[in-house]
Amino acid sequence: MGESYLGGIAIQIGINMILALSLYITFSTGQISLGHAGFMAIGGYAGAILTVQAGTSLTFAIVIAALLAGLFGLLVGWPALRLGGIFLAIATLGFGIIVMVFFQNFPYTSGSMGMQGMVGTSIPLVYLLLSAIVFLTWQLMRSSWGRSFEAVREDEIAAKTMGINVTVVKLTAFILGASLAGIAGALDAHYMYYIDSHNYTFGRSIEILLFLILGGSEVVWGPLLGALILTALPELLRFMADYRMVVYGLLMMAMMIVRPQGIIDRKMFHKRR
Amino acid sequence: MLTFSGVSKYFGGMKAVSDVSFGIEQGAIHALIGPNGAGKTTLFNLATGLVRLSGGQVLFGEHPLASLEPHQICRLGIARTFQNIRLFRGMTAIETVAVGTNTRFHYDIFTAMLALPRKRRNEKKAFDKAEEILDFVGLKKKSNYLCYELSYGEQRLLEIARALATGPKLLLLDEPTAGMTETETENVSDLIKSISQKGITVFFIEHDMRFVMGLSSKVTVLNFGTLIANGPPQEVQNNEAVIQAYLGRGGALNVGG
Amino acid sequence: MTILQQCINGLMLGSTYSLLAIGYTLVFGVLQMLNLAHGEVYMIAAFFAWAMVTMMKLPFFAAFIIASLIASLSGLLIELLCFRLVNKDYPLASLLSTIGLGIVLQNFALVFSKGEMVRFPSAFHDFNINIGGLAISGVHVLILSIGIALMLSLQVLIFKTNIGKALRAVAENRVVAGMFGLNVNFIVGVTFVISSGLAGVAGVLTAMAYHSITPFMGVEMGLKGLTVIVLGGMGSLTGAMIGGLMLGLGEVLAMGYLPMCLIGYKDAIAFIMLIMVLLIKPSGLMGRSQEVKV
């Protein structure tokens, strides 16, 4: 605690970058998740219960948050394999809302009263984790796994017949994405000091999606840029706070017309032969 | 090498393939022809696990393919191309072919993320192989072109390269010369011969009769989902039922040779 | 309240769900895409009606008609901004665009109402019809009747008129329909006009029935409508109609008979059902499953 104003923003940027990457990994296999805040919630509450009620260290809490969120990633991702495109979007949307409603009512986590007392997130911690995650994700995408992810996204049928186990690929991406969201959730909870279900609404899931839509959904740097812009900008445009969501909505619509792949796309990195 | 035994496939009430039985010998260049809608692509889909059998068996050597997933079939040694080109849109040519090598130069996800030495070794092997294959099909100069920057004919070649990258024993080509120019078609013909010389069995669907007759060692003819002829090209060419099937549809079988 | 009373309430609630669901399913049937701003159209229509009644002092009937018309026209706007202009190469671009539009509309309403519930004045003196000891609110019956009348008219339109036939053709196969000379863009426009018009009607009717509107009613309704069409089968009109009525009934009865501790989870129940349907039979009760062609 006692973070400076800029320090707080730096932490939020860091956490949002992790969130953006978490969605990016899942999305890179073509699976759209409109309920990512749900995984974040699981990580957040799990971490909170561990540090506040069980008195464990934040590090331990983060690890457990990641594992638990990852487990749910498996539970959601497994049946989701059968769904494609729009059906998956709806299912994940439903999942996110179910999680939110659950925490709104679950007495153990004080329902709508929320949980409080979480501390420990600091700039070094966030950025240490972020750096590690960026490195791992970047390496992942520049590997045979990354190419498999892309192949599955572009053409699942062709990917299958080229020997790619689509089930494993999609599940892996889902679980990884969920775990990362869980980590971000734990970090976020221990920065916010207080959380309740309103922290994890459908709007939150859309905000995360917007990081990808604006910044870019094709390469690792896109989500990072999106998170940076969309976290820093509202602070700069404080006077427009009421209309922030209007701007977000218009941004989404505009990007879909003009440049759906986001600001940073793959072509930027394509070497001229 | 590949045996179809009483194979049938029904989509709802519609019969796509009915009681088809024939075999593909190792080392053959085997053609599958027939009027449109005869069930040829369905046969390919059955052999690669994209579609489930309604009846009968497909055997690859001794392995029945019925319960296998497409990626497992690929690992057994069957690779294919598609009638409507299915490339990976944003990738370069060499990346696309490298995807084909995934099963051969595999490394686990932790190795990938942590950039362990094994990754670098296998990446090099994968891309070297990809380059080798691109050279083999004649696309080496365009390795770093994005897929959609290639011409239609080149894209078809790229699909073949990708399939070859999986190291198949049997290569299934679905209309490899569709939409190609005269020269490009010649090119593919030579390519198939080269592939065969490397010991890979080739099974392909085609409409271009001159191409088929000049290249294949055996021809199978389907019409309305049933097999109407199976044998060496000359024999099939003179088969009554085959001529009827094509003439009846206004098609031409005469290749003057 | 007797169970029969509750059933009437449930059906009335359900008919508004149906009107909304029909709009969803129409667009999905014709474009294979969801318009997630649909709920917001419902909400905006209610607000427009409120403004006309309270600020412009228009009679309710006029407000109802005009608000519904505004809703229909907004459908054209949605079609243009979120479907026609959108980059078609990108998967689900339209879906995301409609989410964006929904957010814009909701937040305008939020700022306008300052987050508070807005009271919609009574349309008529509440009169009750008494049948065999039951007291049924006249307003509710009116709404149920309008809802059913519209649904029946739509059935007639879709299945007995030429334009309905054209709509079904485009829904079946857009490219081929175009080849047969149908003006696909026009048909798509008509689809949106009808779809959004119905949403608008539902919005005004709900406002009149429950006397209160909030900027959040769109999201709630939108998500419920989604549940309905997934249940009933995306693209199926009958499914939307029956599904809506069923959900309305189900909710009212659940409210009446669920144990206290579970009440809060009521909203989650709809979504759990939605997910279960998606897993078991994504095409819903009435839809057809689709095989991917290679």
Sheet holding B14-24, edge to edge: B14-24, B2-11, B55-60, B63-64
Is A67 within 8 Å of chain B by CB?
A: no
Task: Determine the Cα angle at A61 with ends A57 and A67, to 5°.
Answer: 150
Q: In chain B, what is the straight-line distance between the N-terminal and C-terminal CA atoms, in Å?
A: 30
DSSP B146: B
The answer to whether residue A51 sits within a structural domain is yes
Strands B170-174 and B29-33 come out as unpaired
CA distance B223 to B229: 9
The answer to whether residue A14 sits within a structural domain is yes
Chain C nearest-CA distance from B235, in A, is 32
Is B81 within 8 Å of chain C by CB?
A: no
Q: What is the pLDDT of residues C113-168, one digit of tens each?
A: 876 777 777 665 555 666 655 666 667 777 778 888 888 888 888 888 888 888 88
**Neighboring chain A residues of C97 at a CB cutoff of 8 Å:** 252-253, 256-257
Name chain B's partners: 3 or more CB pairs within 8 A. A, C
Reply yes or no on domain B1-77+168-257 having CATH 2.60.120.260: no
- Mean pLDDT for C54-78 is 88
Instruction: Report the chain B residue with the minimal C-alpha distance to residue A133.
Output: B113
Across the interface, of A150, A163, A267, the residue whose CB is closest to B103 is A163
pLDDT higher than threshold 70 for residue C44 = yes
Residue A161's DSSP bridge partners are none
Q: What is the pLDDT of residues A111-130, one digit of tens each?
A: 667 788 888 888 899 999 99
Residue C118's DSSP bridge partners are C213
What is the per-residue pLDDT for C292? 41
Contact residues, C window 229-288, toward A, CB-based 8 Å cutoff: 230, 264-265, 267-268, 271-272, 274-275, 278-279, 282
Give me the DSSP letters along chain A: ----HHHHHHHHHHHHHHHHHHHHHHHTTT---S-HHHHHHHHHHHHHIIIIIS---HHHHHHHHHHHHHHHHHHHHHHHTT--HHHHHHHHHHHHHHHHHHHHH-GGGTGGG-EE------HHHHHHHHHHHHHHHHHHHTSHHHHHHHHHHH-HHHHHHTT--HHHHHHHHHHHHHHHHHHHHHHHHHHHSEE-GGGG-HHHHHHHHHHHHHH-SSSTHHHHHHHHHHHHHHHHTGGGGGGHHHHHHHHHHHHHHH-TT-SS-GGGGPPP-
The answer to whether B74 and A162 are in contact (CB under 8 A) is yes
pLDDT higher than threshold 60 for residue A2 = no
Give how many domains chain A has, as a whole number.
Answer: 1
Q: What is the pLDDT of residues A54-103, one digit of tens each?
A: 888 889 999 999 999 999 999 999 988 888 778 888 889 989 988 988 88
Q: What is the pLDDT of residues C172-197, one digit of tens each?
A: 787 788 888 888 888 889 999 999 99
- Mean pLDDT for A150-158 is 93
Residue ranges of domains in chain C, CATH in brackets: 3-114+132-280 (1.10.3470.10)
- Mean pLDDT for A228-243 is 82
Domain limits for position A140: 5-200
Is B96 within 8 Å of chain C by CB?
A: no
Is A154 within 8 Å of chain B by CB?
A: yes
Across the interface, of C33, C87, C226, the residue whose CB is closest to A260 is C87
What is the per-residue pLDDT for B255? 46
Q: Which residues of chain B have pLDDT under 70?
A: 247-257
Percent of chain B beyond pLDDT 90? 50
Non-local (6+) Cβ contacts of B149 within 8 A are none
Q: What is the pLDDT of residues A13-27, one digit of tens each?
A: 999 999 999 999 999
Is C292 within 8 Å of chain B by CB?
A: no
Structure tokens at B55: 């009846």
Quick check: C96 and A243 CB within 8 A?
A: no
Identity (one letter) of the amino acid at C110?
Answer: L
The ipTM value here is: 0.89
CA distance C266 to C272: 10
- Mean pLDDT for A146-155 is 94
Q: How far is CA C150 from CA C42, C47, C48, C163, in A?
A: 16, 22, 21, 17
Is B51 within 8 Å of chain C by CB?
A: yes
DSSP C293: P
Non-local (6+) Cβ contacts of B94 within 8 A are B127, B130, B131, B134, B143, B144
Q: How far is CA C205 from CA C15, C37, C147, C199, in A?
A: 10, 19, 9, 10
Is B85 within 8 Å of chain C by CB?
A: no
Between A231 and C268, whose confidence is greater?
A: A231
Chain A nearest-CA distance from C137, in A, is 32
What is the per-residue pLDDT for C273? 76
Structure tokens at A171: 């599940």
Across the interface, of C104, C226, C278, the residue whose CB is closest to A249 is C104
pLDDT higher than threshold 80 for residue C14 = yes
The answer to whether residue A223 sits within a structural domain is no
The structural domains of chain B, with segments of one domain joined by +, span: 1-77+168-257, 88-167
